[in-house]
Amino acid sequence: MRGSGGRTLAGLALAALLVGAASGQGIPPAERRSGFDQMAPETRAMQADETANPGMLWVEDGAELFTRLPSPGAPACAGCHTEATMRGVAARYPAWDEATARPVDLEGRINLCRTRHQAATPLPREGRDLLGLTAYLGHLSRGLPLAPPEDSRLAPARAEGKTLFETPIGQLGFSCAGCHDAHWGRRLGAATIPQGHPNGYPLYRLEWQGLGSLERRLRNCLAGMRAEPFGPGSAEAVALTLYLMQRAAPLAVESPAVRP
């Protein structure tokens, strides 16, 4: 059903909700809440039980890929890394890459390792293999607190991410902060507005009926704001991820999380 001017009634309700929303206030560390806390008990139980969590199918794929040779004569990931050395890695990305002199997210790091050390082609973003490897690495860090690097070289990108989060964009003039800082915990239609933390990604979303990355969720949100989505692995997407990781710390890594 549509109202005057072509906007849906849902869009008008959202606009009313966000009028005058404060940005820049942030959420104090003591008040930071995972989306897990806002889910129905049966969905929380699905995430907590590894035999029922559908994201574990991707973790199993990633564990197999970690030990598989990408091509004859090329080393497997396990040829350089062990599960012990990779525990905590997912909690520390995005991080600075010396060779390219820019921050990279975990997906970017995996693909850089493939091209630099395995003579292999980059894996497609949102493809099963890259999602599997990131879910596997996330699972190795499960329960550890997010620990974004204290690296001054990341400061400009993190500041850019904060600006992207707080600045109204798109045809509707909304900002990320307008929902996730100013109105978290309230309801928008049938849904509870979460704080928007990245600690569960990659995660299995019941709406998607599959696993997806944080970048996919950002594209969904931007499309809903009638804004142009960021390109895969773009500097803007990495910058926003950097800020979101800082904003969420010290919440624990939950990957692969389950969300509605």
Q: Which one from 77, 113, 176, 221 is the annotated catalytic residue?
A: 221
CA 100 to chain centre: 22
Tell me, yes or no, if 221 is annotated catalytic. yes
Q: How far is CA 88 from CA 100, 253, 255, in A?
A: 23, 9, 12
Cα 72 to Cα 65, 68, 122, 150, distances in angstroms: 14, 10, 17, 39
The continuous run of DSSP H or E covering 187 comes out as strand 187-188
Cis peptide before 148 (omega within 30 of 0): no
Question: In sequence order, what are the residues at sequence separation of 6 or more whose Cβ sits closer than 8 angstroms to the Cβ of residue 81?
Answer: 66
Of 48, 81, 47, 84, the residue nearest 65 (C-alpha):
81
- DSSP E strands: which ranges in 76-130? 95-97, 102-104
Q: With beta carbons less than 8 A apart as the criterion, state whether 257 and 138 touch.
A: no
Q: CA-CA distance, 234 to 118, in Å (whole number)?
A: 23
What are the structure tokens assigned to 178, written together? 């307008």
| DSSP letter assigned to residue 231 | P
Give the whole-angstrom CA distance, residue 101 versus residue 26.
29
Answer yes or no: are the C-beta atoms of 78 and 70 closer than 8 Å. no
Question: Cis peptide leading into 256, omega within 30 of 0?
Answer: yes
Q: Which residues are catalytic?
A: 221
